[in-house]
Structure 1
């Protein structure tokens, strides 16, 4: 078991990549001959991280073990954790048998809980966050007696897609702490400005410098303990809709509302890049190459 002082890095890489058409977490960037998550691991390593937990589905384990792990630094302790649909309390087995998709990001992090001894940086495998995000979160947890969680938010205008509208959770802050994340749908740039559909369904103007949550969290043991409580609650309320997912932001929001934790908001100092569709892979790879080698 890892016992170092620096936070662990947890990469959520168990998604099925339905819109991508395959396991995009292991898709190689043409200009790098490696995956996006390997770039994130390199950036986290440079920031001082030495422990990585990859939450994966069983289909990608052979390729990760054969191709990706040998490319990582020998100084890293890397653990593979499989997110399984049947990984639920036994009384919910019947519900689990009806599912085909994983339970969601909240459940993915819960699967990693036994391997995380302290604080952790949590990201997704198919998003590029830049080296600054890891430095910010490592520095956050380096503060004496730090008990707050953290989030690195990215300016909304820098998180759009050329493939069409996007859905984004916008950070609402109060005294540099997260109050809530509000989900806006179909955000697009029109006539030089940004607009999206509010939770109430109306079309509203959105500021380009609003901070979007792109799943770059600094989490504590308080959250990891509450994840299990909230997941059981989710399963108890879970109906016949077999596509319902237990989302990490929902658990964090619940903890904020209950006063169980605070989340300090950090503005990103690097650009974010993400891949949703296979057609984006080559373009994003080229942009990242220019950014890292320009």
Structure 2
């Protein structure tokens, strides 16, 4: 593999359609800051030592990203735009892609960036604010080891007052990830936290549980796994064009089948995200306080 001129990259997954939010939330500006959430993350990543940014976008926002967002990014970054297309599939699955409406999911989005990732990379989603310290944590991690890593956020701090949320709940042993279980419609009540587990059962969730908010540290070997896994996904799900190819599922596959080590770090700052459009103003106020407090 050719040697990279970068020691650490950032991949921003911004290709989703944001169906619950309504519109392209990835390019919604934060009131008072004059920029998007992903620009705050890119600035934090740059401060932590990232020199290359790969933005995975859908073609509908390309012009706005090029004209509005790219000129505002820090100097000294190599920024690449990669479009996530539904028909970006191996040739024998082209017919399957023609029946698809939504993007294939986060695993496919990261796979679209494969040819540009030659070194360790931090992978995030565009509409989540992770805090500057999280980027420093993974930057420091890759200075000392090549295992994969993630920053997890206490579940209680990631809930919404606007409705239930879906979260990946982490199983951790001795500082390493054992797996991530996707719980749906997590809500808080007088009896604590509950959500629907992968078996469709309503279950209690520990308040101290760590939630995966899609803040990963990976190496190029993961992209190889994503490529193989996507073919397996397409072969298995060829009659169902709505299911998504999720990035965490492939990390879990690697843990189970390849004994892959994934270090888990606990976030030192709050996570802020926008699931519902009604949350944007509240999140904007909090982020303004953080950046100008």
**Same-fold status (TM-score > 0.5):** yes
5+ residue gaps, structure 2, are none
Mapped pair 1:74 → 2:72: no
Partner Cα separation in structure 1 for residue 49 and residue 106 of structure 2: 25
5+ residue gaps, structure 1, are none
Partner Cα separation in structure 2 for residue 137 and residue 128 of structure 1: 15
Count of residue pairs brought into register by the alignment: 292
Give runs of ≥4 in structure 1 deviating > 3 Å.
none
User: In the TM superposition, what is the alpha-carbon distance from 1:74 to its structure 2 partner?
Assistant: 1.9
Question: Are the equivalent residues in 2 in contact too, given 1:222–1:261 (CA < 8 A)?
Answer: no
Partner Cα separation in structure 2 for residue 155 and residue 4 of structure 1: 35
Question: Are the equivalent residues in 1 in contact too, given 2:133–2:268 (CA < 8 A)?
Answer: yes
Q: TM-score, normalised by structure 2?
A: 0.96
CA distances 1:98-130 after superposition (whole Å, capped 9, x unpaired): 111111110110000101111100000000000
CA distances 1:251-288 after superposition (whole Å, capped 9, x unpaired): 11111110252111000011001111221111100011
CA distances 1:45-73 after superposition (whole Å, capped 9, x unpaired): 11111110000011100000000000012
Q: Match for residue 208 of structure 1?
A: 207
Bigger drift between 203-212 and 44-53 goes to 203-212
User: In the TM superposition, what is the alpha-carbon distance from 1:226 to its structure 2 partner?
Assistant: 0.8
Question: Are the equivalent residues in 1 in contact too, given 2:167–2:183 (CA < 8 A)?
Answer: yes
Aligned ranges 1:177-188 → 2 under 5 Å: 177-188=176-187
Cα RMSD between the aligned structures? Answer: 1.4
Q: Match for residue 155 of structure 1?
A: 154
Partner Cα separation in structure 2 for residue 89 and residue 194 of structure 1: 42
User: In the TM superposition, what is the alpha-carbon distance from 1:230 to its structure 2 partner?
Assistant: 0.5
What secondary structure does 1:59 align onto? helix
Partner Cα separation in structure 2 for residue 199 and residue 73 of structure 1: 41
Q: Match for residue 30 of structure 1?
A: 31
Partner Cα separation in structure 2 for residue 265 and residue 156 of structure 1: 14
Q: Match for residue 55 of structure 1?
A: 56
User: In the TM superposition, what is the alpha-carbon distance from 1:192 to its structure 2 partner?
Assistant: 6.2
Mapped pair 1:105 → 2:106: yes
Q: TM-score, normalised by structure 1?
A: 0.96
Question: Are the equivalent residues in 2 in contact too, given 1:2–1:51 (CA < 8 A)?
Answer: no
